[in-house]
């Protein structure tokens, strides 16, 4: 039984779970406890020597003053990977793949979130391009970064290029762990984050499907492009038959309960509802920020076929970030766009906590995901209509249809 020390680390309500405090402790005095499925650090009084490193390294307790390079910005970039396979295997335009390929070609190592055999999400380091597939695609679960900051620091000390991809709070944790000192070999790539659900809630969801279908899930794709990019907000789970044949379990509309909860901002980490690392709080800590170019379709010609394959909306916050991005220009198509398109992404603002979130969470403990959705966040007919339209007539035609409707009602 750990004898905890109170009032040392940041309050649990604002702890982002970056684990910088745990990784900086040479005495192993910082342990993790679970609450509502999320891990939170606690200090073991029997091991603590009161050095204060755990509080000094906390990016929440010690907010970094960032250079307001983004203030007054007028440009962002719409980007997609020229390698069609990499683009289609990505959730957006495949920009991360191009950046990661470049870092590895320079003898570097790339850190990002990947599933292990038990479908637990962990940050890992990848050193060859063939292993990058594990890091691609959005994963709507909080990844575990325990031990990764220490490893990245060792790689930087050895002189290697390190590309670290993560959420804004993970980027802030890494930089704080490294002393907030600029390192020319470190490239940080932030992903615009809607918020993070817990591993435990995802485990429950997976377990229910495995029980229902008598299968074992080994992989998933939260945003398949099977039906187009914007119609791809459906979750596909993968299992195997006895003869090793891969079977896809497609989740759409009301059956896509985990994503429906996520998009309605249920069951996120408490700090996500008051995130100090979002745009409105000057949270541009990463050299490069990636998001989806959701607003780009409004400016595209009717019938633009490439849009449905995914497009990234990108900004470079530092000169180092811009130079690295520019070094990848032969592998990507880059179009200058108004900054407002990037800024329109809702993930740049703090998540809004549903008023019945905590009640729904307690209900989920003893009821299924489908039962919880039915009671607390049902998918309404109004929400289903645009999704069904895209599924029936396809990505590009749904865009055309919406533009025609707009033109009709303007008359």
What are the phi and psi torsion angles at 225 (to 5°)? -100, 20
Distance of CA 145 to the CA centre of its chain: 13
303-359: per-residue pLDDT in tens? Answer: 565 777 899 999 998 899 999 999 999 999 999 999 988 888 888 888 999 999 999
With a cut of 80, say whether residue 301 has pLDDT above it.
Answer: no
Mean pLDDT of 278-297: 82
Topology of domain 1-62 in CATH is Alpha-Beta Plaits (3.30.70)
91-123: per-residue pLDDT in tens? Answer: 999 999 999 999 999 999 999 999 999 999 999
Mean pLDDT score of the chain: 88
Which helix (H) or strand (E) segment holds residue 53: the answer is helix 53-56
The bridge status of strand 121-126 relative to strand 109-115 is antiparallel
Query: Burial code of 18-57, b = ≥16 C-beta within 10 A, e = fewer?
Result: bbbbbbbbeeebbbeeeebbbbbbbbbeeebeeeebbeeb
Residues with Cβ < 8 Å from 157, sequence gap 6 or more?
none
**pLDDT score at 144:** 96
Mean pLDDT of 25-45: 93
Question: From residue 119, how far is each of 134, 200, 384 by CA, in Å?
Answer: 12, 11, 29
Of the listed ranges 139-153, 312-326, 344-358, 377-391, the one predicted with least confidence = 377-391
Q: Choose among 221, 268, 231: nearest CA to 253.
A: 231
Split at pLDDT 50, 70, 90, the class of 8 is confident
Locate the domains of the chain by residue range. Answer: 1-62, 69-377
Neighbours of 173 (CB within 10 A): 28
CA angle 396, 399, 400 (to 5 degrees): 90
With a cut of 70, say whether residue 302 has pLDDT above it.
Answer: no
Mean pLDDT of 394-398: 56
Of the listed ranges 198-212, 261-275, 291-305, 338-352, the one predicted with least confidence = 291-305
The bridge status of strand 186-191 relative to strand 162-166 is parallel
* Cβ neighbourhood burial of 163 (10 Å; 0-12, 13-18, 19+): buried
Split at pLDDT 50, 70, 90, the class of 380 is confident
Of the listed ranges 199-203, 231-235, 265-269, the one predicted with least confidence = 231-235
| 122 three-class SS | strand
Split at pLDDT 50, 70, 90, the class of 229 is confident
- Distance in Å from the first CA to the final CA of the chain: 71
Mean pLDDT of 216-221: 95
With a cut of 80, say whether residue 15 has pLDDT above it.
Answer: yes
Q: How far apart are CA 221 and CA 307, in angstroms?
A: 20
Mean pLDDT of 116-145: 95
């Amino acid at each position: 039984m750990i004898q905890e020390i109170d009032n040392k680390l940041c309050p649990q309500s604002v702890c982002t779970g970056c684990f910088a405090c745990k990784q900086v402790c040479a005495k192993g005095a910082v342990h993790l406890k679970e609450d509502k499925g999320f891990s939170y650090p606690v200090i073991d009084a029997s091991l603590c020597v009161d050095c204060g490193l755990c509080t000094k390294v906390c990016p929440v307790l010690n907010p970094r003053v960032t250079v307001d390079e983004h203030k007054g910005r007028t440009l962002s970039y719409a980007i997609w990977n020229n390698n069609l396979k990499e683009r289609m295997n990505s959730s957006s335009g495949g920009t991360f793949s191009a950046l990661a390929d470049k870092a590895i070609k320079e003898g570097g190592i790339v850190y990002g979130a990947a599933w292990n055999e038990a479908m637990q999400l962990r940050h890992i380091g990848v050193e060859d391009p063939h292993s990058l597939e594990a890091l691609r695609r959005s994963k709507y679960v909080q990844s575990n970064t325990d031990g990764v900051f220490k490893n990245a620091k060792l790689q930087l000390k050895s002189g290697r290029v390190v590309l670290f991809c993560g959420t804004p709070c993970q980027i802030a944790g890494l930089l704080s762990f490294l002393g907030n000192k600029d390192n020319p070999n470190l490239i940080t790539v932030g992903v615009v984050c809607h918020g993070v659900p817990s591993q435990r809630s995802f485990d429950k969801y997976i377990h229910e499907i495995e029980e229902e279908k008598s299968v074992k899930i080994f992989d998933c794709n939260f945003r398949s492009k099977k039906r187009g990019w914007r119609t791809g907000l459906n979750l596909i789970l993968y299992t195997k038959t006895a003869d090793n044949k891969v079977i896809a379990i497609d989740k759409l509309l009301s059956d896509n309960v985990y994503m429906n909860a996520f998009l309605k901002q249920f069951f996120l980490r408490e700090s996500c509802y008051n995130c100090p690392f979002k745009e409105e709080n000057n949270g541009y800590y990463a050299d490069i920020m990636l998001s989806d170019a959701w607003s780009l379709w409004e400016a595209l010609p009717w019938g633009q076929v490439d849009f449905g394959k995914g497009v990234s909306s990108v900004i470079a916050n530092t000169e180092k970030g811009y130079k690295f991005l520019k070094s990848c220009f032969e592998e990507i198509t880059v179009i200058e766009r108004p900054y407002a398109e990037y800024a329109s992404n809702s993930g740049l603002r703090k998540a809004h906590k549903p008023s019945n979130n905590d009640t729904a969470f307690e209900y989920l403990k003893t009821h299924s995901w489908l039962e919880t959705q039915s009671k607390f966040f049902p998918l309404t007919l109004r929400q289903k209509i645009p999704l069904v339209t895209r599924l029936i007539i396809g990505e590009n035609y749904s865009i055309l249809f919406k533009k025609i409707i707009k033109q009709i009602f303007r008359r």
